[in-house]
């Protein structure tokens, strides 16, 4: 299982993450847009996304591949404009164990896992524990990085 969240301009975007029939993941509706300062709403949005799992969706054709769903909520036209001032975290669950994988920017655009910052939670950690930790990381980043502030 896999989930993502993005921090941009003081807002955390928490989409549902679907798995395509081809096996790759993509963000889909609904997307919760939550102020980074609202701990309770942020944790709730993360728990809601996680509770939905990764629904399976048809693989989009290259010619009709949709724009990233978070763009509409961030009110930007392109992925490059969005990611310029954004941070990203991925939550991965395998066999009941969770990892939180903060992303870093790649030199050739896009994101990759930042291996120095990956956190493995204790086996059996609850969804609530995961949501609290990821929310805390997003809020800490909001306080540290002016480029993601409004």
List pLDDT tens digits, range 8-39. Answer: 999 999 999 999 999 999 999 999 999 999 99
Flag whether pLDDT at 144 surpasses 80: no
Single out the residue of 101, 94, 88 nearest to residue 125, CA to CA: 94
Q: Which residue has the tokens 């800490």?
A: 140
In the chain, where the domains are located: 2-148
Flag whether pLDDT at 150 surpasses 50: no
CATH topology of domain 2-148: NMB0488-like fold (3.40.1590)
Per-residue confidence (pLDDT) for residue 148, from 0 to 100: 52
Q: How far apart are the first and last CA of the chain?
A: 31
């Amino acid at each position: 299982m896999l989930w993502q969240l993005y921090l941009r301009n003081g807002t955390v975007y928490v989409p549902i993450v679907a798995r395509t029939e081809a096996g790759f993941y993509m963000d889909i509706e609904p997307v919760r847009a939550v102020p980074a300062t609202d701990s309770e709403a942020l944790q709730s949005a993360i728990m809601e996304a996680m509770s939905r799992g990764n629904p399976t969706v048809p693989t989009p054709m290259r010619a009709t591949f949709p724009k990233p769903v978070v763009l509409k909520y961030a009110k930007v036209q392109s992925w490059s404009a969005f990611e310029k001032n954004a941070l990203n975290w991925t939550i991965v669950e395998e066999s009941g164990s969770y990892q939180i994988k903060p992303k870093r920017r790649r030199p050739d655009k896009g994101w990759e896992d930042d291996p120095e910052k990956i956190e493995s939670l204790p086996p059996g950690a609850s969804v609530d524990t995961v949501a609290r930790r990821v929310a805390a990381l997003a809020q800490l980043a909001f306080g540290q990085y002016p480029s993601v502030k409004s």
